[in-house]
Amino acid sequence: MTHEIGLFRPSSDHLVRRLWQHLALLRPSHWCKSLIAIPIGPALMIGDATGPALLALAGTITMFSLASAAVYVVNDLSDIDRDRAHPSKRNRPLASGVVTPQAALWMLAGLLAVLVLLALVLPALLTAIVILYLLCNLSYSFWLKHVPIVEMLIVPAGFALRTVSGYVAFGVVPDPWVIATVLSGSLLLTVGKRRDELRRVKTSADHRPVLRHYSEPLLDAYLLVAAVACLGTGLATMIQFFDAVDQRVLFFISLPFAVYLFKRYLLLAFAGTGTGNPTRLLLSDRTIHVAFVFWAVVLGSSALLDSFGTFDGIAALEAAHAAH
């Protein structure tokens, strides 16, 4: 009798596989994007932050992760047919049929219910920012994704809202240069993604109709403009944080690493290697990881030397020059 009952019970492996397939619909690998809610300024203040501020920041990151997951579900529901025509997106849970639209709707309802509960305990301004994020992305899903240029600006707007929320959680006025860097950097990744889609997918216009309005030369121009804007705003942000005379050496140490990372991304973009999925690229490219590690080690070592007064001579020279 026990054996007969066991025949009608799904195996634990089957349950785990089904659970993973449903979780994949929420794109957990993309939730790391919400960490951009911890921009440089507030991150440096975490040691002095109050408990409520840290809880507000954690709640904000959670809300944006859940909100982005809800947006992914809506996008996949509205793009099932187009995703089935895409060489890689056809393997997504809804497009492949492993998750039914009814199950996706139940998951969406659950996500929205948790968001409402979080909204009841978080500051009203943070909730308003998340609602604005949802409205922007829902507008994108049903309308703006078909509007040339505008559709590429919606993605950076979402990242900027995440960053602004981090400052709000700490009760700090958002830094305009940091916001500009986030906007231009995410625009760079978005243009690189569009260029990769246009180049790789023969039926790209069927998958993403707005691509009919673009050409590779046009997207190449957009890519270079976005890269210049991102590099410029990024350097301006670095100068701002290393504004003390004795910290200028930290800026010059950081400069080669920053320039290299931009050139590395452009190399991959123009070579058509991996820019179609920016998240996967940033998480998997070992060269980028090594550059970040070396940058962090060199910058940390320099900051430690600076704490011992190693670069005080620079300040002395600056003061002597000013006196003359």
- pTM: predicted TM-score of the whole model, two decimal places: 0.76
What mean pLDDT is reported for the chain? 79
Considering the chain, what percentage of its residues have pLDDT values greater than 90? Answer: 16
Instruction: Indicate the pLDDT class of residue 42, thresholds 50, 70 and 90.
Output: low
Instruction: Indicate the pLDDT class of residue 8, thresholds 50, 70 and 90.
Output: very low
| Average pLDDT rounded to a whole number, residues 289-309 | 77
Domains belonging to the chain, first-starting first, are 16-41+48-174 (1.10.357.140), 195-200+213-324 (no CATH)
Instruction: Indicate the pLDDT class of residue 300, thresholds 50, 70 and 90.
Output: confident
pLDDT tops 60 at residue 314: no
CB 167 within 8 A of CB 42: yes
pLDDT tops 80 at residue 139: yes
pLDDT tops 60 at residue 319: no
Report the 10 Å Cβ neighbour count for 317: 11
Q: Minimum mean pLDDT among 98-102, 111-115, 246-250, 297-301: which range?
A: 246-250
pLDDT tops 80 at residue 324: no
In whole angstroms, give the CA distance from residue 188 to residue 122.
32
pLDDT tops 90 at residue 56: no
pLDDT tops 70 at residue 187: yes
pLDDT tops 80 at residue 183: yes
* Nearest partner of 135 among 101, 161, 166, 163, judged by Cα: 161
pLDDT tops 60 at residue 6: no
| Average pLDDT rounded to a whole number, residues 313-319 | 52
| Residues 6+ away with beta carbon under 8 Å from 76 | 25, 83, 92, 93, 94, 95, 104
At residue 132, the pLDDT reads 94
